[in-house]
Amino acid sequence: MGESSEGQWIQIALESGQSVRGWRKEASNPRGTLIIVQEIYGVNAHIRRVCADYAADGFTTIAPSFFDLVETGIELGYSDEDTQRGRELVAALGMDNAMRIVGATRHAQAATESVAVIGYCWGGAVAFLSATRLGIPAISYYGRLVEQFVHERPQAPLQFHFGQRDPLIPMTSVERTARHFPTVPLYTYDAGHAFNRLEDAHGDPDAAALAKRRSLSFLNESLKGS
């Protein structure tokens, strides 16, 4: 697979016999593996940057290319046309297939290795379901679809991050999620949607930095001794 100083593409085999690519960035002396779940735009520069950032913090990262089950090599920008295309790809993929890919990515790691999931927007819902359906510790950033699944119970540690000025996720929705999961840490920020996406105008460096510190604290605690 393609390789660079930043990371390399690997193949992730599914039980069905299909496979998807995954962008992998190795950490020196890794403390565990993080599965990084994309937004609706594929494994683009933003997601590869997230992989590099967490690898620098001591976690080997893998970002599965979820859309490979629909169409290989998708990497979108943020135009209206690309956003619509991303929504179409998410619908064609389906959440059950997304769970299959997360499960296969975890399964590909050494049996003794600690694994957690971090997801953004659509990936925030995938991360949430990784905790409820697969029992993997998970961090959900501005998961717009989480509210559709609030009847599901986490089977592993979970953490939420939302923007207070997110036009896609009103605070009434965030508050309902908080009521459904009163023991799950849920943080809000004076920021809009996709505040971790520092590659474009949505990014909010202060909110992203604070959320990153909280995420690292969660990972250090949740993966300790696992």
User: Which tens digits make up the pLDDT trace of 2-61?
Assistant: 444 579 999 999 999 999 999 999 998 899 999 999 999 999 999 999 999 999 999 999
SS3 214: helix
* Amino acid (1-letter code) at residue 115: V
Residue 170 contacts residue 138 (beta carbons within 8 Å): no
Mean pLDDT confidence for 140-149: 98
The whole-angstrom separation of Cα 193 and Cα 200 is 12
The whole-angstrom separation of Cα 131 and Cα 120 is 15
Question: Domains of the chain by range and CATH?
Answer: 8-222 (3.40.50.1820)
Identify the pLDDT of residue 2: 43
Residue 78 contacts residue 28 (beta carbons within 8 Å): no
* Alpha helices, H only, 94-181: 95-107, 122-133, 171-180
pTM of this structure: 0.95
Residue 201 contacts residue 46 (beta carbons within 8 Å): no
Identify the pLDDT of residue 225: 56
Identify the pLDDT of residue 24: 97
The whole-angstrom separation of Cα 156 and Cα 167 is 29
Mean pLDDT estimate for the chain: 95
The whole-angstrom separation of Cα 192 and Cα 124 is 15
The whole-angstrom separation of Cα 70 and Cα 92 is 7
Mean pLDDT confidence for 149-172: 98
SS3 149: helix
